Amino acid sequence: MIKQIMRLFLTTLIFLIFSISSNAQFWITSVSSSPFPANDCDILSVVIDGNMSSSNCTPTSSYLISGNTITIDINITCGGIGLPVITPYNETVILGTIPSNNYVLIVNQSSSGTLLETNTSSLNIGTCCASNASISLISSSNCLGEPTSFIDLGTVADSLVWTDNGVVFNPNPSALGWIYIFNSSGVHNVILTAIDSTGCSDTNNLVVTVNNLPEVLMSSVSATCATCQNGEAFVNVVSGPMPHQVLWSIGGTLNPLTGLNPGNYIATLTDGNLCSVTDSVLVGNSVSVNEYKSHEFLIYPNPSSGKISLNIFNSEFNSITIEVFNLSGEIVEKRFLSGKSNMHYDIHLDLSKGIYFLKVNNFTEKIVIQ
């Protein structure tokens, strides 16, 4: 008796499942295209999302393009034993590249030869843009006064428009693309717009950082005679990020450069942005106090505790600026004095022990605080 009941139950269940499958319902939930918007250069795909009320059903698709009408047929087939559950489906139809036009997109959903649903929408395919703005930079960080190189990676256009922070500029052609020298430091937002004969355009955005050149102040200590090798030349860095690298034209990277004969010495300073500036300084010849006195000024005592006397001998000094630099090139003290010929000043420098350079107008001497 129990076996008969179980057999009847299974027969009834199978009958119900087949009945549900044969009467399954299907509906479209969305139709979309990719890419969007699209043009006649793009490979176009249409994605149909829908639901099926049975788990044993499978969608297949085909399409036809006739004039400005695209028809996609979705056919749902069911077989075997299925459960009565909502089963989503996703069908992607690749149309490839199609001509530019305003199309009517029709999606028909059928099952067992019966049309169940029709979804109608519009699909606009534009004209492919023939322009292409494709550039890159050799370096996105440059120094003021140096050319910035834009590399052509395949730019195609009938005309080009360059803007720097919204202002039009015109770079010069080069072997690799274009070059341009920006006349101001800072961040430059460069946009290249490539335009074809139909007015269709493509853009490429780049950011160029232009760094200021470092500033230096050259100073020297005179040799004590015409053939003495005890002069010094010093590069005082006024501005420019660390690290600093000094290279002298005669060779060497020391700062100060010591053991020098009288003469002119050239140095190139490179800062942390890899920007460089070149300057020169004259190492003089001071045989004695009297000879030195006949030129500009006298400092004594030297070394000192910070209390020094300054005698000015240059009658052309109408105003006197005194600057004291440490060995890092930083100004640690600055004063302004009234100028008269043969004037005497007593000055107290509140400085730590060490070696400094005292500059009077454009003339420099090394001083020692002890």
Tokens standing for 238? 């006024």
Q: Supply the pLDDT for residue 293.
A: 41
Of the pLDDT bands very low, low, confident and very high (cuts 50, 70, 90), residue 13 is very low
26 has a pLDDT exceeding 50: yes
Q: What is the pLDDT of residues 77-102, one digit of tens each?
A: 988 777 888 999 999 999 999 999 99
Q: Supply the pLDDT for residue 24.
A: 61
Structural domain boundaries in the chain: 2-125, 135-211, 213-286, 288-370
In degrees, rounded to 5, the angle at the alpha carbon of residue 20 between the alpha carbons of residues 17 and 26 is 135
Tokens standing for 34? 């990719």
Q: Supply the pLDDT for residue 75.
A: 94
Q: Supply the pLDDT for residue 314.
A: 64
Q: What is the pTM of this model?
A: 0.52
Region 135-211: CATH code: 2.60.40.10
Answer yes or no: are the C-beta atoms of 260 and 283 closer than 8 Å: yes
43 has a pLDDT exceeding 90: yes
Tokens standing for 103? 């199309």
Q: Report how far residue 21's alpha carbon sits from residue 130's, in angstroms, rounded to the nearest whole number.
A: 52
Fold designation for 288-370: Immunoglobulin-like (2.60.40)
Higher pLDDT, 294 or 213: 213
Fold designation for 213-286: Immunoglobulin-like (2.60.40)
| Dihedral-angle region of residue 252 (phi above 0 means left; psi in -120 to 50 means alpha; beta otherwise) | left
Find, among 321, 307, 318, the residue nearest to 350 by Cα.
Answer: 307
9 has a pLDDT exceeding 50: no
Phi, psi of 290, rounded to the nearest 5 degrees: -65, -40
Mean local confidence (pLDDT), 178-183: 95
Domains 135-211 and 213-286 equal at CATH topology level: yes
